[in-house]
Amino acid sequence: MAWHLPRGDEFLPKLSVEELRQSYERESGGWPKIRLLVAIKRKEGQSMDAIAEQLQISRTAVNETLHRFQERGSSAKDDEKRSGRPRKLSQKQLKNLRKTLVSGPRKGTNVLWTTRMIMDLVKREHGLVYTTRHVRRLMHQLGFSIQKPRPRHYKTDIVKQAHFKKTSGKPSENTESMASRSFFWTSAPSR
C-alpha cells in the first residue's frame, strides 16, 4: 500500500466534502463514523499524520481507511460482509432433522424431545457432536421452542392431592430437585 494518496479535491473526486458530512451525520455506527471522518479530513487536505493524531488512531489505520475509500467509494465506511464458517449440516440434512423431530421420538420413549435426545440423534444420524447451546440455537432456527414443564398442572385438584398425601403412607423423595427438572422441545407453527 502506498503512503502517498491524493488529498483535497483529488481525493474521491466524485464526492464532495458536504456529501461526506451528510453521510457522517446520518451514520450511527462507531467505526463507520470514524472512517467517514478520516475521509472528510483527507478531503479537506489534511495529512495522514494530522488525521491520525486528531482521531487518536494509528497512521496505518488512516492509510488503510483511505485506500478503502479509493477502491470502494462511499461504501468503504461499512465492513464488507463475511461468509463465516460453513454449516456442518446441509440444508437437506436440516430439513430431514426437522421432519424427524416433528414426527416425535421413537415409541417407548418420552413423548417430547429433550436437548440431550436431540444431541444423541444428531450424533447417531450425522456423526456430529454439538454442544447443548448450539443444539438449542439449531432448534430455534428450525422453528422449535423450548418448553419447561410447570411444577403444577393448571388442572390440579389440590384437595385430591392433599387427600393422597395423607393416605399414601411414606412421602416420596423431593421431586422438585434441580436434577429432576427437564426442558422439552415443541414445534412452532409451520413456516
CA 51 → CA 57, 58, 78, 157, 166, distances in Å? Answer: 8, 9, 19, 74, 81
- The residue-averaged pLDDT of 12-25 equals 89
- The residue-averaged pLDDT of 3-10 equals 81
Domain identity same for 73 and 106: no
Q: How many CB atoms are located within 10 Å of the residue 157 CB?
A: 10
| Position 3 pLDDT exceeds 70 | no
Q: Which domain holds residue 57?
A: 8-77
- The residue-averaged pLDDT of 80-89 equals 85
Q: What is the pLDDT of residue 110?
A: 64
Domain identity same for 189 and 95: yes
Place of cell 450424533: 123
Core vs surface per residue 86-107: b (16+ CB within 10 A) or e: eeebeeeeeeebbeebeeebee
- The residue-averaged pLDDT of 175-185 equals 54
Q: How many Å apart are CA 184 and CA 119, to the nearest integer? A: 13
Looking at per-residue confidence, does 83 or 128 come out higher?
128
Domain identity same for 58 and 103: no
Q: What is the pLDDT of residue 178?
A: 46
Domain identity same for 130 and 110: yes
Please give the grid coordinates belonging to residue 64.
Answer: 488503510
Q: What is the pLDDT of residue 148?
A: 75
Domain identity same for 97 and 145: yes
Domain identity same for 65 and 144: no
Assign residue 188 the CATH number of its domain: 1.10.10
Report whether 1 contacts 63 (CB < 8 A).
Answer: yes
Domain identity same for 131 and 191: yes
Q: What is the pLDDT of residue 170?
A: 59
Which residues, in sequence order, are CB contacts of 87 under 8 Å at separation 6+? 94
pLDDT in tens, 48-80: 999 999 999 999 999 999 998 888 888 888 888
The answer to whether residue 116 sits within a structural domain is: yes
pLDDT in tens, 90-149: 999 999 999 998 888 877 666 788 899 999 999 999 999 999 999 999 999 999 988 876
pLDDT in tens, 26-41: 988 888 999 999 999 9
| Position 177 pLDDT exceeds 60 | no
Domain identity same for 25 and 58: yes
